[in-house]
Chain A
Amino acid sequence: MTPAPPGRRPGIGIALGRVAVALTVAFGALAAGAGYWQVIRSGELSSAPDDAAVIAAGRHVVRGEITDRDGQRLAWSLLDANGEPYRKYLSSSLSGVLGYASRAFGSAGLERAYDAQLTGVTSADPVQDLVKKFRADPSDPQAIQTTLVAQLQEAAVRALGADRGAVVMLDPRTGEVLVLASTPVFDASAVANPDTAMRTFESLQGDLAKPLLPRATQGRYVPGSVFKIVTAIAALGSGAVSADTTFAEQPSAEKDGLLVSGYRVRDGHHPATGSKALDFVGATEVSCNIWYALAGLETGGDALVEWSGKLGFGEPIPFDLRTAVSQVTGGGGSFGGGFKDAVELANAAYGQAETVVTPLQMALVTSTVANDGVLMRPHLVQALTGQAGTRTVDPEVWRRVLPPEIAREIALAMRQAVGGRLGRQFTTGAQVKGLTVAGKSGTAELGGTGEPNSWFIGFAPAEDPEIVIAVVVEQGGRGAERAAPIGGDLLAAWKAWAGR
């Protein structure tokens, strides 16, 4: 066999060169890939609660304390017989927001969201992170000061009593959350205590009332009439409807129902306003479904979905805790905005059909109206304190939704809904002596034979709002039955705490 003569092998040298180049490019891609995970995603992954370093730190490190805005201790660490730390909580009323941190069952709630900071794996700022590497003990557990108010949180849980539901209270000017309560509560200390952890957790998981579900952020409920505020924002904001708009067919439709594509929208659970065609304020005061259905049809599905999107619908809300997504419609329809047809749009406009919301989302809607149309980003954490000092979290504008004039028009309507002669029949119990309260109640029909969800959203004082509240009581009956009185009680409690 004659080997091929040397030197004259057309192409092999060149082909080899090209293969070398191709492999170099491939390895360059590897370097880029490594750069992606080791630089770009580095911070996010290494401070995630399921990162091995964070979990390992959680076992040995004494977690930072969590306090409320007044400095009251909400969560702190104790040492067991072996000298290993475990968590203790002030009250079970905080279980919905703080969650728990336990050795056996990991962490949940705020404890989980800030695992990396509380166990000291991540520092408050990147410079500190760098400096930390040069210290012998690089762990820097930080204490967290929340925006919560312990006594108001306690009051909220007490007010909800044996019912399942949620309360959200926040400051519309800054987005700070003062109360984030969910019932039923559970005893987080029992979960964190190694002696009782197993038993407690098992019974919690088996509990059909689902105490581990943080309803304030992840409970999804049919809103009923409180959704009308969203429709108002969309209708007035888009200009489809103005505060003076009246619908000629509305008074007669009160009796016979409004015909929309062959379906009758019935109203009638508001006091007879006779043959008077209602304007925006009037319709809001008596919670007129007909007016809102017409306003919704006028606005159109696309605009309704678009404007609600500005308020946070359709996506998780940027918040310290995980949130469920609120929706105006299930989507998939071709009638504009994802609605199936005009009937669904009409029903959605007054908060039925396929609308589902979280209590936090409704609080944000209210906050927008209360803050002249500017929606502040909700947050739970005010400051983080570590070895390098304190880093405060500043309020941040999330969305500019409405021009102030329109926001004030809606605020006025909500003032009437609580203070007006007709309005107060729907919001009995929400009134507070010495405080002008604005708001809206809701009675969300669930279909079937069960009781509807009882809703109330509101803000006070109406002239210069400082506090927003959203209350939902699962199957609590009419809005005025449960939610509105709870709202009134808590606003009064707030008044006392704030010294108004």
Chain B
Amino acid sequence: MDGTVIAIWVLRLLFLAGLYAFLWAVVRVLLRDLRAAAREPGAELGRLVVVASPSGEPAVGAGFSLDAVTTLGRDVNATILLDDEFVSGLHAALTYRGRTWYVEDLGSTNGTFVNGSPVEEIALVAFGDELQLGNVRLRLERARR
């Protein structure tokens, strides 16, 4: 048997092995993601109910489901759109971590308030607390389950 021929065979098989090594690595990543997604069943974590909204958008009494991360603002890309002239493009973010809710001000012009107190960067919020962004007031409530 010719040495070069064997060398070529080895290289060919290694190349194919490399292709499958890549697929294997990817499958591991995919499985990890799947497991992570299964752990967050997408159940409702909380709700935000509109208490006051002078512009009418969103309507008073409207309820929004909250995920782990929710942004509020006037920008069309915000998760919850608040059409109020005193609300910034991306005004604040509500996040849920370690069974606790936090609100973070994203550098808004007019500031974010929890129960009347201004939020410096980030603040804890509990169920029943009221958030104020511009002229819009929202209340954090438990999940409807």
Task: Identify the A interface with B (CB < 8 A).
Answer: 1-3, 5-8, 13, 134-136
3 closest pairs, A vs B, by CB?
Answer: A136-B2, A7-B65, A136-B5
CA distance A5 to B64 in the complex (A): 7
Contact (A6, B58) CB under 8 Å given A1-B76, A136-B2: no
Q: Residue on A with the closest CB to B2?
A: A136
CA distance A1 to B65 in the complex (A): 18
Q: Is B1 an interface residue (CB 8 A)?
A: yes
A6:B2 contact, CB within 8 angstroms: no
Q: Which of B1, B4, B42, B57 contacts A7 (CB 8 A)?
A: B42
Q: Which residues of B contact A134 (CB under 8 A)?
A: 1-2, 5-6, 9
Q: B67, A6: Cβ atoms under 8 Å?
A: yes
Q: Count A/B pairs, Cβ under 8 Å.
A: 34
| B1 lies within 8 A of A5 (CB) | no
Q: Are B5 and A5 in contact (CB under 8 A)?
A: no
How many B residues, CB 8 Å from partner?
A: 19
In the complex formed, the residue of B with least CB distance to A1 is B76
Grouping DSSP codes into helix (H, G, I), strand (E, B) and loop, the A interface class, with mixed when no group exceeds half, is: loop
Contact A3 B4 (CB under 8 A): no
Once the chains bind, are B44 and A7 in contact (CB under 8 Å)? yes
Partner of A135, one of B2, B66, B67: B2
* Contact call B1/A3, Cβ cutoff below 8 A: no
- Distance in angstroms between the alpha carbons of A135 and B44 in the assembled complex: 66
Enumerate chain B interface residues (CB-CB to A < 8 A).
1-2, 4-6, 9, 42, 44, 57-58, 64-67, 70, 76, 79-81
Interfacial chain B residues near A13, Cβ < 8 Å: 42
**Which residues on the A side are within 8 Å of B79 (C-beta)?**
3, 5-6
Instruction: Please name all residues of chain A whose beta carbon is closer than 8 Å to the beta carbon of B57 when the two chains form the complex.
Output: 2
A1 contacts which chain B residues (CB < 8 A)? 76
CB-defined contacts of A135 to chain B, threshold 8 Å: 1-2, 5
Q: Is the CB of A6 within 8 A of B9?
A: no
Q: Collect the chain A residues with CB atoms within 8 Å of residue B44's CB.
A: 7-8
Given contacts A7-B66, A136-B4, 10 further A-B contacts (CB under 8 A): A2-B58, A2-B81, A3-B79, A5-B65, A6-B67, A6-B70, A7-B42, A7-B65, A135-B5, A136-B2
The answer to whether B81 touches A3, judged by C-beta atoms less than 8 angstroms apart, is yes
Residues from chain A with Cβ under 8 Å of B64 in the complex: 5
Chain A's nearest CB lies how many Å from the CB of B4?
7
Which residues of chain A have C-beta atoms less than 8 A from B81's C-beta? 2-3
How close is A413's CB to chain B, nearest CB, in angstroms? 63
Closest chain-A Cβ to B96's Cβ sits at a distance in Å of 12
Name the distance in Å between B93's Cβ and chain A's nearest Cβ: 13
Within the complex, the shortest CB–CB distance from A192 to chain B, in Å, comes to: 33
18 cross-chain CB contacts under 8 A: A1-B76, A2-B81, A3-B76, A3-B79, A5-B64, A5-B65, A5-B79, A6-B65, A7-B44, A7-B65, A7-B66, A7-B67, A8-B65, A134-B1, A134-B6, A135-B1, A135-B2, A136-B4
How far apart are the CA atoms of A8 and B6 in the complex, in Å?
59
Measured CB to CB, the closest approach of chain A to B87, in angstroms, equals 14
In Å, the complex CA distance between A1 and B57 comes to 10
Chain B residues contacting A6 (CB-CB under 8 Å) are 65, 67, 70, 79
Q: Across the two chains, which residue of chain A brings its CB closest to B5?
A: A136
A135 to B9, CA, bound (A): 11
In Å, the complex CA distance between A2 and B74 comes to 10
Name the distance in Å between B136's Cβ and chain A's nearest Cβ: 14
- Of chain A, the residue at the smallest CB distance from B81 is A2
In the assembled complex, how far is the CB of residue A415 from the closest CB belonging to chain B, in whole angstroms? 61
Nearest CB in chain A: distance from B114 CB, A: 22
Q: How far is the CA of A66 from the CA of B10 in the complex (A)?
A: 38
B60: min CB distance to chain A, Å: 15
Q: Kindly report which residue of chain B lies nearest to residue A2, judged by CB atoms.
A: B81
Chain A residues with Cβ below 8 Å from B70 are 6
Q: Chain A residues near B66 (CB, 8 Å)?
A: 7
CA gap between A6 and B76 in the complex, in Å:
14
CA A163 to CA B5, docked complex, whole Å: 56
Q: Which B residues touch A5, using CB under 8 A?
A: 64-65, 79-80
Measured CB to CB, the nearest residue on chain B to A134 is B1
Smallest CB separation, B138 vs chain A (Å): 13
Q: Which residue of B lies closest to A137 (CB)?
A: B2
A181 and B57 CA atoms in complex are apart in Å by 97
Chain A residues closer than 8 Å to B2, beta-carbon distance:
134-136
Q: Kindly list chain A residues whose C-beta atoms are within 8 Å of the C-beta of B80.
A: 5
Closest to A136 in B: B2
Please give me the residue from chain A that is nearest to B63 by CB atom.
A5
> Shortest Cβ distance from A203 into chain B, in angstroms?
47
Q: How far is the CB of B58 from chain A (nearest CB, A)?
A: 7
Smallest beta-carbon distance B67→chain A, Å: 5
Q: How distant is B38 from chain A, measured CB to nearest CB, in Å? A: 12
Give the distance in Å from the alpha carbon of A7 to the alpha carbon of B48 in the complex. Answer: 13
Identify the closest chain B residue to A3 (Cβ).
Answer: B81
Least CB distance, B106 to chain A, in whole angstroms: 18
Q: How far is the CA of A7 from the CA of B70 in the complex (A)?
A: 11
Which of A8, A135, A136 is the most central at the interface, judged by chain B CB atoms within 10 Å of its CB?
Answer: A136
Which chain A residue lies CB-closest to B78?
A: A3
Chain A residues whose C-beta falls within 8 Å of the C-beta of B5 in the assembled complex = 134-136
The docked-state distance in angstroms from the alpha carbon of A134 to that of B6 is 7
Among B42, B44, B57: residue with most chain A CB under 10 A? B42
Closest to B42 in A: A7
Which residues of A lie under 8 Å from residue B4 when comparing CB positions? 136
**Which B residues are CB-close (under 8 A) to A3?**
76, 79, 81
Q: How far is the CB of A281 from chain B (nearest CB, A)?
A: 67
When C-beta atoms are compared, the residue in chain B nearest to A131 turns out to be B1
List the A residue with the shortest CB-CB distance to B76.
Answer: A1
Shortest Cβ distance from residue A240 to the other chain B in the assembled complex, whole angstroms:
64
Question: How many Å from the CB of B43 to the closest CB on chain A?
Answer: 9
A135 to B4, CA, bound (A): 10
